[in-house]
Structure 1
Amino acid sequence: MTCSDPTRTVPVADTVVPDGRPGAIPTALALATGTAVLVSAEFVPAGVLPLLADDLHVTEGRAGLAVAATALAGAITAPTIASVLPRADRRRVLLGLLMLALVSNLVVALAPSLPVLLAGRVLLGVAIAGFWSFTFGVGVAVTERPALVSTAMSLGTSVATIIGVPLASVLGDVIGWRAVFALLIAATAASGLVLARLLPPVPAHPGAGAAMMRQALGNRRLIAGVAMIALAAFANFAAYPYIRVALQAVTPSLVTVLLLAWGIGGLVGNLVGGWLSTRLRIGVVAAPAVLFVGLVLMAAHPSTVVVALAVLAWGTGFNMVPVTTQLWVSRAEPNRVEAAVSLQVTAFQAAITLGAVLGGLIVDHRDVWAAMAVGAGLAGLAAVGFAAVRLVPRED
């Protein structure tokens, strides 16, 4: 099949094309590896938070800024990076962003103090925001299969939460949190090699840049949806950086198992989100609604069994949010997908920043259960808000 637009790559078959290049599924999975290492790096502090805080002599609430700093940099970067790199080959951009993440993890692994660590985490925020902003458009340009690309990216997120955070928690106790970040350096390098091998060159969209973003910002339904995305992400990240603190308070011996349950819920949420790709109106409402249920149960924490159900629902609900909302914004603004996804990323990263800061204040001045309750309330509002926003593709 040949694309009429000469700036686009040729879409590929599922496994391999006649000239031997990787097909749609390997290409999507290659992008997923990058997503996996970046998400692992972003949220590893949640798995080693007590160790990190103790080593740097700060409170757990302040240590949670390791997540907030990354997200703040991402929120600033996501809507502007396409304007800075309007014509750059997207393959080279993605590889450069992975190398930036590698440098970030190196700075964090060697950081002697919290300010230095936060500086390293800012670099990671730039890498994550840029990678997420470009990856969906790159994947769709190569494969012409949006649901496959979105599901693969969310699969990378799920792998990170199923393996990355629980494994970081276990390894942090055994080898130390700094060694965990050293392992992330190796994983990031390996991901870059995979992407370099499997991803073909991808020219930038002809309309990429500031003009595309201004036009996307004029879509009122898109902006309303982005606001609900921010609310759902805010709900999650007011609580998530402190998940290990909460689990240790309930059942210290089962922390790793329950973190794994959160990750398994994430895998379920990823698959359900992909299944709902043809029912996005339902999907974007169901995701924060399930998150609401999980956080309500978590805030109540009457027993270990209820906490186990809570983290499973929590992981399921939150991990439905990225895949369903990514497809939602791309369908709301089909001619400006790169800009629409950048706004989704901005919403996520800004919400992570504010959520982590607010959650840290609540944890330090109240307790971790109050943070869970605040998250639950915000998730409920996001579900109601999405139910009120119609998904109407913009035609122009």
Structure 2
Amino acid sequence: MTLPLYLLALAVFAMGTSEFMLAGLLPDIASDLDVTVGTAGVLTSGFAIGMIVGAPLAAALARNWPRRPVLLAFVLVFAAAHAVGAVTTNFPILFATRVVAALANAGFLAVALTAAAGLVSPDRKGRALAVLLSGTTVATIVGVPGGAVLGTTLGWRATFWAVAALCLPAALGILKGISAGRDGNEAADRPALRAELAQLALPRLVLVMLLGALVNAATFGSLTFLAPVVTDSAGPGEIWVSVALVLFGAGSFVGVTVAGRLSDRSPGPVIAVAGPLLLIGWPALAVLADEPAALFSLVFVQGALSFALGSALITRVLYEAAGAPTMAGSYATAALNVGAAVGPVIAAATLSTGAGVLGPLWASGLLVAVALLIAFPLLTVITSGRSTGVLR
């Protein structure tokens, strides 16, 4: 793995911290801006919506531009959006800054995913994706819990300022580590944009994007409302939210690392093993949430299983979209964030039911169940070689 790949992961760390940090800040944001926790949770969906729209749009606009200035611009816009969010007292403005930050994040990730795949041999896309996504998983281990502690001690606005500051070394890394010229895949050799967009008509690509979205919806649905589960069900103090986030992040790092080593050559076993275990884990977490030891253990396990299964499916998106070399990263990003947008909305709707704060956990189990019902009859199709455009 090359140094530029790790520098891209550094930027993903800053952006991942922002994407996940609301899980520990929602109660404080809701109180400060005089909205309900459910309404504050829409900030997560707003971020995801910006990612969905921004990924293909940014990838299409930037497909023939040198990658260094494009990546640098996205990082700086991302930082600026967090600076504005840190000073606003208006919830709609905060929501708008989340959408702008997401557009920048989406553009960056779409270009970075494609760049990462191009930095390694064709049979190591899963490993490259694992390195890039390690920036996100390290964010859940270090950045997000650190943000939660910072938010608890200095207020949620301090966390927004910290994310903006994290973007500065990431920008320096891009300047130092990414070539100023065009990448080796010259524009003349690339398919036309229309041909790349036509890949979205391939049934196998659509299938793995759908499955990735469902699994990520389950992940974000529960993660977004993990704080009230910890404080209201298990009973520990607010500081234990950070512990839960660290454990989820540590699990996600393990999951994405293991899946990264297996998903290039053996995606079938990853899906077949992680899928059913993940399905069992969400309801088990809901049932055992009032037992702190069980809660924290299952949070770690669910983090590992969620990211193992999710990263394996997203790696399949990159393989199935091999005919769209400049747009494949945006398809993977869009799939992830359709789930990240839908999951918190579904989860928020369950908060007013009899399940209360445990509703998101039950909803996550249902989403994984739907994914498995679709996936298992077609497992050999999903895990076979490059798409031919026909479900065989």
* TM-score with structure 1 setting the length: 0.88
Matched, 1:267 2:256: no
Could you tell me how far 1:257 is from its partner in structure 2?
2.0
Alignment of 1:155-194 (within 5 A): 155-194=134-173
Could you tell me how far 1:26 is from its partner in structure 2?
1.6
Report SS of the residue matched to 1:361. Answer: helix
Residue 209 of structure 2 contacts residue 314 of structure 2 at CA under 8 Å; is this kept in 1? no
Could you tell me how far 1:287 is from its partner in structure 2?
4.1
Alignment of 1:244-393 (within 5 A): 244-249=227-232, 250-253=234-237, 254-277=240-263, 278-300=265-287, 301-366=289-354, 367-389=356-378, 390=381, 391-393=384-386
Matched, 1:71 2:48: yes
Residue 273 of structure 1 contacts residue 324 of structure 1 at CA under 8 Å; is this kept in 2? yes
CA distance in 2, matches of 1:94, 1:284: 32
1:242-287 Cα distance to aligned partner (Å, 9 max, x none)? 0011111113233322221111111111211112122112224444
Could you tell me how far 1:115 is from its partner in structure 2?
0.2
Residue 204 of structure 2 contacts residue 320 of structure 2 at CA under 8 Å; is this kept in 1? yes
- Which range is displaced more, 42-51 or 289-298? 289-298
Specify the alignment match of 2:125 in structure 1.
146
| Aligned CA distance change for structure 1 residues 289 and 344 (closer, same or farther; 3 Å) | farther
- Which range is displaced more, 55-64 or 267-276? 267-276
Residue 236 of structure 1 contacts residue 379 of structure 1 at CA under 8 Å; is this kept in 2? no
Report SS of the residue matched to 1:392. Answer: coil
Specify the alignment match of 1:10 in structure 2.
none
The amino acid of 1:359's aligned partner reads: A
Could you tell me how far 1:380 is from its partner in structure 2?
2.4
Residue 35 of structure 1 contacts residue 156 of structure 1 at CA under 8 Å; is this kept in 2? yes
Which ranges in structure 2 are unaligned for 5 or more consecutive residues? none
The amino acid of 1:113's aligned partner reads: N
Residue 238 of structure 1 contacts residue 358 of structure 1 at CA under 8 Å; is this kept in 2? yes
- Which range is displaced more, 285-294 or 314-323? 285-294
Could you tell me how far 1:86 is from its partner in structure 2?
3.1
Could you tell me how far 1:205 is from its partner in structure 2?
5.8
1:316-374 Cα distance to aligned partner (Å, 9 max, x none)? 11222443123211222323244333222112212211211221222245412111101
The amino acid of 1:299's aligned partner reads: A
The amino acid of 2:108's aligned partner reads: F
CA distance in 1, matches of 2:373, 2:258: 20
| Aligned CA distance change for structure 1 residues 110 and 208 (closer, same or farther; 3 Å) | farther
The amino acid of 1:90's aligned partner reads: R
Return the match for 1:195 from 174, 189, 195. Answer: 174
* TM-score with structure 2 setting the length: 0.89
CA distance in 1, matches of 2:50, 2:322: 27
Matched, 1:40 2:30: no
Return the match for 1:97 from 70, 74, 77. Answer: 74
The amino acid of 1:312's aligned partner reads: F
CA distance in 2, matches of 1:394, 1:339: 16
Calculate the aligned-residue CA RMSD, in Å. Answer: 2.0
The amino acid of 1:263's aligned partner reads: G
1:291-336 Cα distance to aligned partner (Å, 9 max, x none)? 3233122211252222122101111112224431232112223232
| Aligned CA distance change for structure 1 residues 184 and 343 (closer, same or farther; 3 Å) | same
Could you tell me how far 1:223 is from its partner in structure 2?
0.6
Could you tell me how far 1:214 is from its partner in structure 2?
2.5
Residue 45 of structure 1 contacts residue 241 of structure 1 at CA under 8 Å; is this kept in 2? yes
The amino acid of 1:349's aligned partner reads: N
CA distance in 2, matches of 1:25, 1:321: 25
Could you tell me how far 1:395 is from its partner in structure 2?
5.6
Matched, 1:229 2:212: yes
| Aligned CA distance change for structure 1 residues 161 and 209 (closer, same or farther; 3 Å) | farther
CA distance in 2, matches of 1:40, 1:381: 29
1:180-236 Cα distance to aligned partner (Å, 9 max, x none)? 111111101111111211112444663366314322112111111111111111112
CA distance in 1, matches of 2:299, 2:42: 22
Report SS of the residue matched to 2:261. Answer: helix
Residue 246 of structure 1 contacts residue 368 of structure 1 at CA under 8 Å; is this kept in 2? yes
Report SS of the residue matched to 2:63. Answer: coil
| Aligned CA distance change for structure 1 residues 209 and 35 (closer, same or farther; 3 Å) | farther
CA distance in 2, matches of 1:264, 1:90: 31
Report SS of the residue matched to 1:78. Answer: helix
The number of aligned residues is 373
Residue 114 of structure 2 contacts residue 327 of structure 2 at CA under 8 Å; is this kept in 1? no
CA distance in 2, matches of 1:282, 1:379: 17
Which ranges in structure 1 are unaligned for 5 or more consecutive residues? 1-23
Could you tell me how far 1:25 is from its partner in structure 2?
3.0
